Every structure is written in C-alpha cells, then in structure tokens.
Amino acid sequence: MSDAASEKNTALMEKIVSLCKRRGFIFQSAEIYGGLNGCWDYGPLGAELKRNLKDYWWRKNVQEREDILGLDGSILTHQDVLKASGHVGGFSDPMCDCLLSKARLRADQIEPQSGTAYHYTGASHAESGWSVERPYSVLISGNQDENKARKTAKQYYSQFLTDKQISPKTIELAGESTEELTETTRYNPENGSLLTEPREFNLMFKTHMGASADDGDESAVAYLRPETAQSIFVQFKNVAETNRVKLPFGIAQIGKSFRNEINPRNYTFRSREFEQMEIEFFCRAEDGLALTDEWLERRLTFYEEIGIPREHLHVLDIPDGERAHYSQKTYDIEYEFPFGIQELEGVAYRGAYDLTKHKEHSGKPLEFFDDETKEKLIPHVVEPSAGCDRTILALICEAYDEETVTDEKGKEEIRTVMRFSPRMAPVKVGVFPLLKNKPELVEKAREVQALLVPHMNVFYDETAAIGRRYRRQDEIGTPFCVTIDFDTLGESGDELKETVTLRHRDSMKQERVAIADLRNFLLDQIA
RNA sequence: GCGGGUAUAGCUUAGUGGUAAAGCCCUAGCCUUCCAAGCUAGUUAUGUGGGUUCGAUUCCCACUACCCGCUCCA
C-alpha cells in the first residue's frame, strides 16, 4: 500500500471509529478511568448488530441443521484441559530482546554459542563530560578480533548519548573484563550483543479458584479459555451420547475467549477479550479434506448473506510448513479492512488430534461407535472458527459510505450512510409522524410503531425536521423509514387513507405502502 | 516489547502561564406538509498523577489510552 493510500485508509478508519463512538456502536472499555488496553464495550447499536450476527449464525448453523448441535461451555477452564490441548506447555514461549538491535528472539530457539564474553560497567565521553553506568557484555568467538567486541559495546552505549553529534567511536568504555563461556544462549548470534533475561509470554489469563486459594496453590489454578473449541472436545462424549448422532455431525458454540495479546491493535480487531463462533464438525477420516472445502464454501456464502461481498474476501490456503503440525489443510478467510487484509475466520482440518489428546490425558475412552460401519473410531474434525468481533468490524467497515448529495438549491453535502444489509441492521425501521405538533399524526405513528414492535427493532422519532430524521437513520444504517402524514389520515381521499411513505435508505426513494402490508413487507426484507 | 505521534465538550477544531472559544451534534420550546430549514433558551471539555510556579489546560517528568511503523500472533 502506498503512503498516500495508507494515509487515506487511516483517515477512513478514524472516521469509522468516530462514528462508532458518536452513534453508540463501540466505546472504549472503562473510558472514564483512562481505558483498559485491548478491551471494548458495545453500545446500544453495537449490541443490536452483534446480536443480529450471532442470532443469524446460530440459526443457519444450528437451528436450521439437523446435524449440528449447540453448546455453551464455561469460560473458566480446568487446567488439565489446557495441558492436554497443549496451551499450557507450548503456549508460553520465553522471549528475549537484543539490547543492541531490539530484535525479539525466542529463548528456546537460540543456538548455544561458545566464546569470550567482554563485560563492561559503563561508558563515558571526556570532552563533553557525558557518562553512563550500566553493565553490558558482548560475546565474540575465538577467531574474532577483540576490537569487534569494543565496537559493538560502543554502539550499545551510544544509544544513551544525549548529544547525537558525538561519534560512538570516540566514547570510552569502562571496566572491561573477560570471561570464557561455553554453550551460552544469553547472546544474540547475529551480533554478539547481550540479551535481556528470558521472559515468559503466556497468552492465557490465569486465575485461582476458590476464595481462600493463594497464588502459590497450583491445584487451584484455572484459566480463562483461550478458545471455545476445547469445551466442545471435552464435552464431545456427553453430547454424542445424549443426542443419537451419527457421523458426520457438528457441535457449535458462540462465546467469549481471552488471550493476553502482547500488542492489541487496530481498534477492536485484536482484543484481549473477544467472541468466537466455532463449529467442530466430526467426521470419518476419509471425508475430512472434502468437508474442509465444503465448509469453506459454506462460510463464504454466509459472509455474502450478511452483506460482505465475495470480492472483498480473500481465501488463503495455508501452505505446508505454516499450518499447525496436526492440520492437513487450513484456509484463512480474510477481509480487506482499511488497515490491511486480515483474518476473519479459519477453516482448519484438525484430524483426530484434539480428541486423541484428551483421550490420552483424561484416560477416558472418547471413541465413537459408528453404527454404519460397526467400528469404534476417534472421529476427525473440521473446524470453521470465526471471530465474532472481527466480523462486526468488517460489517461496519463494509457498511460505511459517504455520498455526495445535491439538494434542490444545488448545494452539495456529504451524506454518511451505513449500508448494512437489512438482515444485520441494528434498527430495522424508523417510524415518524410528519409533524409532532399534530396529535392525530403522532397517535397514528404510535399505532404503526406498536404494530411493528413485536416483530423487529423499531425506532420512533418525532423531533426535528423530517429530513434530519432520515439522515440520522442513514448514519446508523436503518434500511427503512416510515412517515405518517395527512394522507394517512385520509385528507386526500380514501385512496391514500391508511397508507404511509416508505423511504429507502440506499436510494432515498419513497413509495406509498398500505399500513396493512407494512409488517409483511418489512419481515420479508429483514429475514 | 521497540521506535515515532497524539490526548481541549458527544464529534471536528481554536486558544492561552491568570474567567477556555467556535461550528456541528444533542435537549426543551415556538414554528414547520417529505431529505441535516428557521428563531429562542439550555447541557457538556483541557486523559491520570507528580513537579516547577503566587497561579499550569499551557512548561517539565512519569503513567494510561489511542494511532502509525516494526515485532508478536500457539
């Protein structure tokens, strides 16, 4: 992306963030206390939007399918579950930073080295009177010039110089001593610079169960789940045994997960608390690959149904070597966010890995008896795992539009429109009396509101001019507005009596619709 | 985690070492017959904590949050 394009996209993202706050889609968590890094709250409209997304996903993937069952697992997770899944052991990589280049390295992947370590206690510059006291070391191998160590150390200390005119070459090193080291991993193999102490970066939130549990009581340790998938695997046997299922079948779950991200970024895109919509689709081994492709297509169709066109999505076929070791096939479904192309969902063929691991660790039989083939087997699994909040952000980015409109006087202005699909829109219809100081209009509008309210989210508004009310609804993406006027009351004769103006958000076109037809018309549009 | 930037009302922006300004939005009232009309009145702000100072929104430091670039993302 060019600089200009990047700036434009940053500006666009800022406008979207601003609108989300102004209209009550998304707020920063604990804003009045300065905010909580990587956490966000959904305001009234955001809550509606998210509910619409989750409801539609659930309807399509659970309620309308005979072969997928729902689950709602606990967020607090038994530590053994996450030991079995590999999250406790393999999920916490000790990391070091290079003191010179600031590069971050995985401590367990550093090649052990041997050589001579040159230690220093600090550095100074006689002419300017500058000095710094701070221990530092450089490792050089036997055949390297010792001056290389001094040069590297000077470079390191020069970063503390306040006067940038001073050449690193002219500073004096203090307290040089040497030490022979073998098989050390404390130095950066690239440049010999000392590294910071290895630090754990466990991405899971850890807690202790029980009011009296102290931090040292390892048996009381529990975690906030880092993914919803594990409770599905752990409850696999219960679900299968209580529901007379046969392969292939799925278990679906929507719920919060938590990851202590080092670096939350891009608005709500990478949050520490986030919601997932996951399916674990269990199948016979021979069907796994084909089902993965099938699910990919089904998921792409889903995104189209909620208003994200196929051409704004990218499918990444994760190549060999980059997939998790247990996965024979993984697709990422990505969306063109203003800040870049980023993942919305992963569709992964995970083989029998998860159930096998839980079988091993729990010692419980997790085989499934296949009635058709009369054999006991550990089913394979295909996992379409979507990020709910990411999809919300994609819906918002996709919907945001600015349109130049010209009024009768030829004056141009910007109309901001959220073009949500009617299915996802937080408010489905605005109901307005043309004038609020005419009680007959208000009364009729209230009747129309009451007629629609049991079936959809309706917004009643009688303040300000009618045009302003339309624009307010444009900005929150309400697809339809209904206006009750004097014709509704029968002032222009019986033909128009009991009809209203139906105004369309996208085209701004108006049509006349009978109140009696309104409910069914709108229900068809938002289904 | 590193580097850079930013922080004044719901939003967009002024401004000042000594009473913080405007537009939009919003609320109420009047008026108003279909695309942000008009008039009147009104609410709301210097991110947090220190320091310097008689006095700090302004200067300095730290923290927090957000944005950008790296890094990371089982």
The pLDDT value recorded for residue A299 is 97
3-state per-residue secondary structure call for A239-296: HHHHCCCCCCEEEEEEEEEECCCCCCECCCCECCEEEEEEEEEEECHHHHHHHHHHHH
Q: How far is the CA of A310 from the C1' of B37 (A)?
A: 42
Q: How far is the CA of A471 from the C1' of B36 (A)?
A: 6
Q: Which nucleotide is nearest to A467 (CA to C1')?
A: B35
Q: Which of A323-327, A444-448, A467-471 has the lowest mean pLDDT?
A: A323-327
Q: Which nucleotide is nearest to A504 (CA to C1')?
A: B35
Q: Which nucleotide is nearest to A259 (CA to C1')?
A: B73
pLDDT, tens only, A260-269: 887 888 899 9
Q: Which of A105-109, A132-136, A502-506 has the lowest mean pLDDT?
A: A105-109
The protein residue nearest nucleotide B2, judged by CA to C1', is A102
Per-residue confidence band for A92, with pLDDT thresholds at 50, 70 and 90: low
Q: What is the rounded distance in angstroms from the CA atom of residue A388 to the CA atom of residue A275? A: 5
Angle CA A137–A143–A144, to nearest 5: 45
Q: Which nucleotide is nearest to A30 (CA to C1')?
A: B65
The pLDDT value recorded for residue A220 is 87
CB-neighbour burial class of residue A252 (10 A; exposed 0-12, middle 13-18, buried 19+)? buried
Q: How far is the CA of A461 from the C1' of B65 (A)?
A: 35
Q: How far is the CA of A337 from the C1' of B67 (A)?
A: 16
Per-residue confidence band for A238, with pLDDT thresholds at 50, 70 and 90: very high
Q: How far is the CA of A34 from the C1' of B51 (A)?
A: 22
Q: Which nucleotide is nearest to A471 (CA to C1')?
A: B36
Signed CA dihedral, A79, A82, A86, A90: sign only: negative
The protein residue nearest nucleotide B31, judged by CA to C1', is A437
Q: What is the rounded distance in angstroms from the CA atom of residue A467 to the CA atom of residue A432? A: 11
Q: Which nucleotide is nearest to A269 (CA to C1')?
A: B73
CB-neighbour burial class of residue A411 (10 A; exposed 0-12, middle 13-18, buried 19+)? exposed
The protein residue nearest nucleotide B71, judged by CA to C1', is A104
Give which of A508, A423, A399, A340 is closest to A15, Cα–Cα. Answer: A399
pLDDT, tens only, A53-67: 999 999 999 999 999
Q: How far is the CA of A472 from the C1' of B42 (A)?
A: 22
Q: C-alpha distances in angstroms, A311 versus A121, A198, A236, A330?
A: 59, 44, 37, 20
Strand duo A172-174 + A177-184: pairing:
unpaired
Mean pLDDT confidence for A142-164: 76
Q: What percent of chain A has pLDDT over 90?
A: 57
The pLDDT value recorded for residue A110 is 76
The protein residue nearest nucleotide B35, judged by CA to C1', is A467
As ranges, strand B nucleotides with an atom below 7 A of a protein CB are: 1-2, 10-12, 25-28, 30-37, 47-48, 64-74
Q: How far is the CA of A96 from the C1' of B1 (A)?
A: 9
Mean pLDDT confidence for A265-292: 94
Q: How far is the CA of A79 from the C1' of B25 (A)?
A: 50
Q: Which nucleotide is nearest to A509 (CA to C1')?
A: B35
Q: How far is the CA of A422 from the C1' of B40 (A)?
A: 40
ipTM for the complex shown: 0.91
